[in-house]
Amino acid sequence: MAADERYRNKTILAPMVRAGQLPLRLLSLDYGADLVYTEEIVDMKMTQCTRTVNDKLQTIDFGFPGDDPVLRICPSKERDKIVFQMGTNDADRALQVAKFVENDVGSIDVNMGCPKPFSIHCGMGAALLTQLDKATQILTTLVQGSKIPITCKVRLLDTLPETLHMVKELEKCGISAIGVHGRTRDERPQHPNRNEEIREVVRALSIPVIANGGSSIIHTYDDIAKFRSATGCDSVMIARRALSTPSIFRKEGILPMEEEIRNFLHFAIDYEAPFTNAKYVLQRILGGEQEFDPRGRATVRAVNVEELCAAWNMTEKFQEVKNSQSRATLKRKV
Ligand code: FNR
């Protein structure tokens, strides 16, 4: 497949720190997402990780011995569909990380949109939008040095001419696509997404443009197509709605909250999701129901995955997987 075909007419799970780990990615793929981004992982952290083949779970784990994995990938289910998102401010280090992960992921994205002080102060995320030389150096180095497609995800600049200048310079680096969140660095989700400006970006570039920022107006599967046509984009990337309602990716329609949670927990149990990740995603799916639904209150009180499962009547599944995994471990030891 030509690199840019990978990004044509796709519906995509956006990168989300704390949320975009294996269970939500697999659930989104199961529901119909075409591509799934990892949460942003900072290059420095990644350079310190060890890569391990996890025979028990059939995953590839990057991390530190004894800790929850920094990145867990399930090659049989997501190998070509996973986009590794990197936070970086340094071309050489970015390439080092790209070489480290390129056999395990489908493509690599550089985060140039994060407005959080942590990213900006380190010269990462949205700081790169105003350091175009650095940004283009990183992307060119990655495109030339890595064997898989490279993309970046940006926000808009204060004026349209500035935005168009920036995206054209980024396109010249040889990237395969660009994700555009239709807000500026200082705008927040309550500000309207500038769909018309995304449309102008589409007109100015020849690579696929991935529209982002539409969650406030995406309530059903059909709304995804509406957002696509409002922005004139090839592809759409969804964050907040995919977190509160992962089944937004289902052509057949969204599912009731309880089903959504139980489907998520299946993957969380099967792939030993870290408790913090599982609880966070459950709380985002629950939204206001954390207070009103007794199972929501039990979710808030839970201190481990077993208790999360108990809250949703999934103790049996939890025990079943635990027992079969310990049997498998015993067998390997014999
Ligand atoms: C984000 N966003 C984000 N962006 C990014 O490039 N890397 C990241 O790791 C994260 N992390 C993250 C966590 C959470 C919990 C949220 C809600 C958002 C931003 C996200 O990908 C997206 O650009 C915005 O949320 C706008 O898209 P939606 O939400 O309107 O679809």
Tell me: the pLDDT tens digits for 65-96?
999 999 999 999 998 999 999 999 999 999 99
Q: What local confidence, expressed as pLDDT, does residue 322 receive?
A: 87
Q: What local confidence, expressed as pLDDT, does residue 38 receive?
A: 98
Please give the number of the atom of ligand 1 that sits closest to the Cα of 14.
21
Q: What local confidence, expressed as pLDDT, does residue 303 receive?
A: 98
Q: CB–CB of 177/209 below 8 Å?
A: yes
Question: Could you confirm whether 173 is annotated as catalytic?
Answer: no
Taking the C-alpha atoms of residue 221 and residue 210, their distance in angstroms, rounded to an integer, is: 17
pLDDT (average), residues 150-155: 98
Element (H, E) at 180: strand 177-184
Q: What local confidence, expressed as pLDDT, does residue 32 receive?
A: 98
Instruction: Please return the burial class of 145, using the count of CB atoms within 10 Å of its CB with bins 0-12, 13-18 and 19+.
Output: middle
Query: Strand runs (DSSP E) across 33-95, as ranges?
Result: 35-37, 41-42, 50-54, 59-63, 71-73, 82-87
Helices and strands in the chain: count of H runs, count of E runs: 16, 12
Instruction: Considering the domain delimited by 3-249, tell me its CATH architecture.
Output: Alpha-Beta Barrel (3.20)
Angle at CA of residue 72, ends 121 and 271, nearest 5°: 135
Average pLDDT, the chain: 95
Task: Give the pLDDT band of residue 222 (cuts 50, 70, 90).
Answer: very high
Task: Give the pLDDT band of residue 331 (cuts 50, 70, 90).
Answer: low
Q: List, edge to edge, every strand of the sheet that includes 71-73.
A: 50-54, 59-63, 71-73
Cα 322 to averaged position of ligand 1 atoms, centre (Å): 33
Of the candidates 49, 74, 114, 173, the residue annotated as catalytic is 114
Q: How many CA atoms lie within 13 A of 100 on its CB side?
A: 22
**Could you read off the pLDDT of 160-188 as tens digits, one per residue?**
999 999 999 999 999 999 999 999 999 99
Element (H, E) at 255: none
pLDDT at 3 over 90: no
Taking the C-alpha atoms of residue 17 and residue 15, their distance in angstroms, rounded to an integer, is: 7
pTM assigned to the model: 0.96
pLDDT at 226 over 90: yes
Q: What local confidence, expressed as pLDDT, does residue 159 receive?
A: 97
Cα 295 to averaged position of ligand 1 atoms, centre (Å): 27
Task: Give the pLDDT band of residue 330 (cuts 50, 70, 90).
Answer: low
Mutate to test the pocket of ligand 1, among 12, 43, 178, 181 (most ligand atoms within 8 A of CB): 181
Q: What local confidence, expressed as pLDDT, does residue 79 receive?
A: 87
Q: Which residue, by CA, sits nearest to atom 17 of ligand 1?
A: 240
Q: What local confidence, expressed as pLDDT, does residue 202 receive?
A: 98
Q: What local confidence, expressed as pLDDT, does residue 96 receive?
A: 98
Give residue ranges with CB within 6 A of ligand 1: 14-17, 19, 39-40, 85, 111, 113-114, 153, 181, 212-215, 238-241
Task: Give the pLDDT band of residue 121 (cuts 50, 70, 90).
Answer: confident
Q: CB–CB of 16/243 below 8 Å?
A: yes
Q: What local confidence, expressed as pLDDT, does residue 199 receive?
A: 98
Give the rounded percent of residues in the chain with a pLDDT score beyond 70.
97
pLDDT (average), residues 292-309: 96
Taking the C-alpha atoms of residue 220 and residue 205, their distance in angstroms, rounded to an integer, is: 29
Specify the amino acid at residue 249.
F
Nearest CA-CA partner of 81 in 29, 23, 130, 137:
29
**Could you read off the pLDDT of 207-221 as tens digits, one per residue?**
999 999 999 999 999
Q: What local confidence, expressed as pLDDT, does residue 333 receive?
A: 56
Q: Which ipTM value was assigned to this complex?
A: 0.99
Cα 262 to averaged position of ligand 1 atoms, centre (Å): 24
Cα 156 to averaged position of ligand 1 atoms, centre (Å): 14
Taking the C-alpha atoms of residue 51 and residue 49, their distance in angstroms, rounded to an integer, is: 7
172 in helix, strand or coil? Answer: coil
Q: What local confidence, expressed as pLDDT, does residue 193 receive?
A: 98
Q: What local confidence, expressed as pLDDT, does residue 118 receive?
A: 86
pLDDT at 332 over 90: no
Specify the amino acid at residue 281.
V
Q: In the chain, where are the structural domains located? A: 3-249, 257-333
